Amino acid sequence: MLTNVIEVATGDRLVTDVTDSIARFCAERGDGLCHVFAPHATAGLALIEVGSGSEEDLSDLLDRLLPRDDRYAHRHGSRGHGADHLLPALVSPSLVLPVLNGRLALGTWQSVVLVDTNVDNPRRRLRLSFLSSP
């Protein structure tokens, strides 16, 4: 299996577009499935449209669903960090994408984004793996 770990500079962003990095990994690989995996306990992967406001809307949604207050039993780290640890239950860190002739077969408005509510880690890793059929 072709597999590789890439680094992603997330800075203090909630949403980081990683589509191009994945596309480069898949280039010239033929047909198959690309597995994208974030080996972090406070990050997830999503397919959304970027550049039209949905990043901000996703931030608001997560603030509503996972308020950053003192309600959490998980109390390591800064205030509200317990919320970060629930993110991957709703936005999974594991995602499979179709690849055709070395190209990601995404819809016109789909981008792959790393969602990371934990601003204390400005760099994240992604493991990319490619599987084809015999």
70 near a second copy, rule: CB under 8 A: no
27 near a second copy, rule: CB under 8 A: no
Instruction: Quickly tell me which residue has 């490619």 as its tokens.
Output: 130
The rounded distance, in Å, linking the Cα atoms of 5 and 37 is 9
Q: Name the maximum alpha-carbon separation found in the chain.
A: 52
Q: How far is the CB of 30 from a second copy (least distance, A)?
A: 8
Phi-psi group of 30: left, alpha or beta (phi > 0 → left; psi -120 to 50 → alpha; rest → beta): left
Contact residues for a second copy (CB under 8 A)? 1-3, 31-33, 35, 37-41, 46-49, 52-54, 56-58, 60-61, 65-66, 71-76, 82, 85-86, 88-98, 100, 105-110, 115, 127, 129-134
